[in-house]
Amino acid sequence: MNVETMGLWAGAVWTALDEQGTLGVKGLKKATKLKEKEIYAALGWLAREGKVNVVDSETDVMVSLIG
C-alpha cells in the first residue's frame, strides 16, 4: 500500500459520500467495493484534510462530508 493508492481510496469514499450522503462503513464498503481496512485508511486521509465528519454509533461508524 502506498500514498497514491490511499489517495485513490479517499477519492472513492469522497465520491460515494457526495453521491449518497451520510453512510456507515458497511454502506461505504458496498458503494466503493473497498475492504474495511481500506475504508479506514481513506477516512483517515479525509479526516486529516478536514473533509469528513465521523460519528461512532452503537451499530456502525457513520460518515458524512463537511460543508
Q: What is the domain-level CATH number for residue 35?
A: 1.10.10.10
The total number of structural domains in the chain stands at 1
Entry pTM: 0.94
SS3 state at 66? coil
Which set of grid coordinates corresponds to residue 22? 451520510
From CA 26, how far away is CA 4, in angstroms rounded? Answer: 24
Domain containing 42 equals: 3-65
Q: Are 14 and 65 in contact (CB under 8 A)?
A: yes
User: What are the helix (H) ranges across the chain?
Assistant: 3-20, 25-32, 36-48
pLDDT single digits (tens) 17-62 = 999 999 999 999 999 999 999 999 999 999 999 999 999 989 999 9
